[in-house]
Structure formats: C-alpha cells, structure tokens
Amino acid sequence: MSTKLLLNGAGRIGKAVLKQLLENKDFEIVIINDINPYIENIVYSINYDSTYGKLDDKFKIVENNYIQNSKSKIKITHFNSLDKIDLTNIDIIIDSSGKKEDINLLKQLPVSAIFLTHPNKNADINVILGANEEKLNPSIHKIISTSSCNATALLPALKLINDNKEILCGDIVTIHPLLNHQRVLDGSFVGSATRDVECNFEFGRSSTQNIIPNKTTTITACSYVLEKFNKELISSNSLRVPTDTVGAINVTLFTKQSSTKNEIIELFKEYEKTQKFPIVLNNIEPLVSSDFKKERFTTIVDFRYLEVKNNMIKLLLWYDNEWGYASKVVEILKYYEEIKKGK
C-alpha cells in the first residue's frame, strides 16, 4: 500500500517535490494545502513552470476542490495552519510552506512524521544524506528537518575532507539564485518572519539588477546536523545573483594534514563510485550553472576549479537548489519508509 502524503505549500520546493513524487508508486499525495485561495492558480502553476517547463500529464480541476490528471487525484485546501486540516488517512506531512510552525503543535498532529524543508534546531532531527542519515530513527523522530539546499550540498564534502584530513578552519561563499521572497525592483527591506536570515537593507534591492551580498544560515544549518561544522570553524557569506536556479559554493578549507590535488580528486572519485544516495557527481566538463538544472546529484564537484596548496583545499560545488534539494527530500522520505518497514 502506498504512503499517503499531505504537501503543505505548493511553491518552488513544494512543486519540485510534487513532480518527483508523481513518478513514485510508493507514495500518494492526497492533499495539497496552500494559503493561495485560488485553485485555478494553483493548478496553473503546477502545469506551467518557467524554470522546468510544462507538465506533460496536466492536471484539471474536477469536482469538490480536487485536481486530477491521468494518474493522480489530489484534494486542494487553503488553510493557514496544519492543525485546521482533516488528517484522517494522512501518514506523513511534507511542509514546504516555509512557515515556522510551533513544534509542539506539530508534535500533536495525528501523523507519523512531518518533514520540514528548512533547517530547524527544534526539530527531532535535521538530516542530510551523506552526513548523518544513520541517526534517523522513525520510532523517536517525528519532526524531521531536511535542512537547506546549501547545507545539503556542502556538508557531505566537508565531512569527507574532515574524515580524511581534519579541517582546522575554513570559509565558504554561496552564490545563490534569487528566491521568491526577494524584490523584483527596489523596495523596502525584506523581513524574515519565516526565515532565519537577518533583515538587511541590501535585501530590499532589485534582485534582477544586482549581485546582492547577504548573510547565510548555511553553516548554522550544518551545525544542526553535525555539531563540529559550526560558525567557529567555518565563516560564510552569500551572494544572491539574478539566475532562476542552480547555486554554487566556493569553499576554502585549511586542514591539519597536507594534501595533493590528486589525493583529493581520488577521495571524491571513490565517494562517487561507492555512495548509496545520489550525492557526489564529479565534473570535468567546461559547464555553467544552467547545465546543472534538474540535476538530482547535489554535491557536484568541479575538478576544473579544484585547487590544493599544502594545507589549503579549494573546491567549487554546484547544486540545483530547487530540483536537486527536492530530490533529497524525496530520498530521505524513501529512506525513512525503508527503515520504518525494516527493509
């Protein structure tokens, strides 16, 4: 029998998760809840997407607030809080609304698990594949954060280098596409009621005309998963750029043991060959960000820009912050179900 899901928030991440789950017979999305009050607009934005293109098997509105295509029929609701939704027959909630819901309220909901698509220190666990998935335990973890897109891309690489060379300190710069909460043209600064990023004036500036420097919660998100990788060890900042999707992270690490470029290349090659989940992909082609669009691997190591000087390692990592991240949400969901069923 398939696992019954409620998808809360049909925005950029919600729709990428939805489209990847539509192909998977083990899961059925029974309800989509979004505060957008117009079902016509929700179905339109599922069918048509400027970044990933049109859906071949389009949804239509059918009776009583349902949408349907040739394979799926999904109820649409418009509540602003999960506790108002009838959860009879729902096994798991994927909350991709970005709302920072009270964790105690979430714990009371009659479902077996709630996946949050943002880092959350109050969750029962923050999971990143390739970092701490072995800690995931369905009998004690109900509120499961799937961390952030940047931390999902970065932490497996940091862990690999740390396990082999011991990181002493480092710095990262995320080069991040624009996001839906930014301004199109200059406006007042963007508040952050639903996000951990501090308010700053730069964030009220036009996202299509600027490279916007910003703080990032990437390292804090990493520390919720593996404590060692925190702001004392690694400094960080972010540059928001006017592209639709695919981010890059420029990583500089100082390690206890020195390395050669070939050693680091071999570490990532071995990881790519032996990994259980689609995490590391090594690239030697002269590619640009849009070439990684819709790529499900999320730690794409660009060997062309890998540098090693004694105790310093410099990496360039790529990841599709929407599709790639959503693929990890789905992988964690599949993994959760596997260990729950004792597979």
Ligand X SMILES: NC(=O)c1ccc[n+]([C@@H]2O[C@H](COP(=O)([O-])OP(=O)(O)OC[C@H]3O[C@@H](n4cnc5c(N)ncnc54)[C@H](O)[C@@H]3O)[C@@H](O)[C@H]2O)c1
- Pick out residues in 29-48 that bind ligand X (CB under 6 A): 33-36
**Rule CB under 6 A: is residue 87 a binding residue for ligand X?**
no
Residues 6 or more apart whose Cβ sits within 8 Å of residue 242:
177, 178, 207, 208, 209, 210, 211
Please tell me the count of residues contacting ligand X according to CB under 6 A: 26
Ligand-binding site membership of 34 (annotated): yes
Determine contact, residues 15/49, Cβ cutoff 8 Å: yes
Please identify, using beta-carbon distances, which residue of 222 and 253 lies nearer to ligand X.
222
Ligand-binding site membership of 243 (annotated): no
Please identify, using beta-carbon distances, which residue of 96 and 299 lies nearer to ligand X.
96
- In angstroms, rounded to a whole number, what is the distance separating the alpha carbons of residues 205 and 316? 27
- Pick out residues in 144-163 that bind ligand X (CB under 6 A): 148-149
Please identify, using beta-carbon distances, which residue of 98 and 170 lies nearer to ligand X.
98
- In angstroms, rounded to a whole number, what is the distance separating the alpha carbons of residues 341 and 343? 6
CB atoms under 10 Å from CB of 294, counted, come to: 16
Cβ burial of 339 (10 Å; 0-12, 13-18, 19+) is middle
The least distance separating ligand X from the CB of residue 205, rounded to whole angstroms, comes to 19
Alpha-carbon distances, residue 67 vs 46, 60, 212, 216 (angstroms): 10, 5, 39, 37
The least distance separating ligand X from the CB of residue 341, rounded to whole angstroms, comes to 27
The least distance separating ligand X from the CB of residue 292, rounded to whole angstroms, comes to 13
CB atoms under 10 Å from CB of 85, counted, come to: 18
Please identify, using beta-carbon distances, which residue of 217 and 283 lies nearer to ligand X.
217
The least distance separating ligand X from the CB of residue 293, rounded to whole angstroms, comes to 13
Return the residue matching tokens 């400094």.
235
- Pick out residues in 314-333 that bind ligand X (CB under 6 A): 321-322, 325
Determine contact, residues 307/328, Cβ cutoff 8 Å: no
Please identify, using beta-carbon distances, which residue of 154 and 267 lies nearer to ligand X.
154
DSSP 159-193: HHHHHHH-EEEEEEEEEEE--TTSBSSS-SPPP-T
What mask, x for binding ligand X by CB under 6 A, covers residues 101 to 140?
A: ----------------xx----------------------
Ligand-binding site membership of 13 (annotated): yes
Return the residue matching tokens 């050693």.
263
**Rule CB under 6 A: is residue 50 a binding residue for ligand X?**
no
149 is an active site residue: yes
Which residue has the CB atom at the shortest distance from ligand X? Answer: 11
Contact pick of 80, 235, 258, 262 for ligand X (by CB under 6 A): 80
The least distance separating ligand X from the CB of residue 173, rounded to whole angstroms, comes to 17
Closest CA to 14 of 63, 76, 66, 60: 76
> Which residues form the interface with ligand X (CB under 6 A)?
8-14, 33-36, 80, 96-99, 117-118, 148-149, 179-180, 195, 321-322, 325
Instruction: Show binding-site residues for NAD(+).
Output: 12-13, 34, 117, 321
Residues annotated as catalytic are 149
